């Protein structure tokens, strides 16, 4: 049974890889934290994109990706009548759901800041969409957010966006401006 290569995914990953490589290579002329932040974010992104591109070229890797939620079932199926339109209603519904979650996360982050919005988003998303229990969702959230806090706040000493709510209601949560990279 032969599998077809997902050309759209490969094209999107190639485009994102080009942008990421340009940003990382462009950051090499910066000094200090600016360069370090670009490398800390860019190099893992390049690694994941390379892995996704490899998975697009070798569909057998999808078996290894199933535990993290990537499945062959997520790919749109061809319609039985041989129609070239293979984007069915279910696929567009799923795209709408994902954009709804992302929009909600952006709004939460803008209002409440990274430190409040990200844990709330991760627990809600993992519980609702992945079907994890509350305890597993909280565990995944802690395991994924502690490294970000350690890298950005403790190692790089870069405060993450605190949200606009502290600016509107000063003294409650503190902060409220976009931090500069010095």
Same domain flag for 46 and 119: no
Compute the C-alpha angle 158/105/23, nearest 5°: 50
Residue 58 within a domain: yes
Which parts of the chain register pLDDT below 50?
Answer: 1, 70-79, 82-87, 173-176, 179-182
Residue 82 within a domain: no
Same domain flag for 138 and 93: yes
DSSP for residue 152: I
Asked if 72 and 59 touch (Cβ cutoff 8 Å), the reply is: yes
Residue 72 is predicted with a pLDDT of: 46
Residue 180 is predicted with a pLDDT of: 47
Contacts 24+ apart (CB under 8 A), 127-132: 129/97, 129/101, 130/69
Mean pLDDT of the chain: 76
Residue 21 is predicted with a pLDDT of: 92
Same domain flag for 115 and 36: no
- CA–CA distance, 113 with 104 (Å, rounded to integer): 13
Residue 168 is predicted with a pLDDT of: 66
Residue 81 within a domain: no
Residue 96 is predicted with a pLDDT of: 83
Asked if 17 and 49 touch (Cβ cutoff 8 Å), the reply is: yes
Q: Which of 17, 41, 75 marks a domain boundary?
A: 75
Same domain flag for 157 and 67: no
* CA distance from start to end of the chain: 55
- CA–CA distance, 106 with 118 (Å, rounded to integer): 10
Q: Which of 27, 53, 75 marks a domain boundary?
A: 75
- CA–CA distance, 126 with 140 (Å, rounded to integer): 9
* Nearest alpha-carbon partner for 55 in 44, 45, 66, 43: 66
Tokens of 9: 């995914």
Residue 64 is predicted with a pLDDT of: 65
pTM above 0.85, yes or no: no
Domain ranges, residue 33 = 1-75
Compute the C-alpha angle 99/100/101, nearest 5°: 90
Count of the separate structural domains present in the chain: 2
Same domain flag for 17 and 64: yes
Same domain flag for 140 and 166: yes
Same domain flag for 118 and 165: yes
């Amino acid at each position: 049974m032969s599998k077809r290569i997902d050309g759209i995914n490969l094209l999107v990953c190639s485009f994102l890889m080009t942008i990421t490589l340009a940003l990382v290579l462009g950051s090499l002329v910066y000094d200090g934290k600016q360069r370090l932040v670009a490398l800390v974010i860019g190099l893992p992104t390049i690694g994941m994109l390379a892995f996704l591109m490899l998975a697009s070229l070798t569909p057998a890797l999808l078996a290894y990706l199933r535990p993290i939620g990537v499945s062959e079932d997520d790919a749109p199926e061809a319609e039985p009548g041989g129609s070239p339109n293979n984007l069915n209603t279910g696929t567009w519904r799923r795209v709408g759901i994902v954009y709804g979650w992302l929009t909600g996360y952006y709004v939460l982050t803008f209002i409440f800041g990274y430190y409040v919005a990200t844990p709330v988003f991760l627990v809600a998303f993992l519980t609702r969409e992945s079907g994890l229990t509350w305890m597993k969702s909280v565990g995944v959230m802690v395991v994924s957010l502690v490294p970000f806090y350690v890298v950005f706040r403790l190692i790089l000493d870069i405060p993450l966006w605190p949200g606009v709510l502290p600016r509107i209601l000063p003294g409650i949560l503190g902060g409220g401006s976009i931090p500069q990279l010095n």
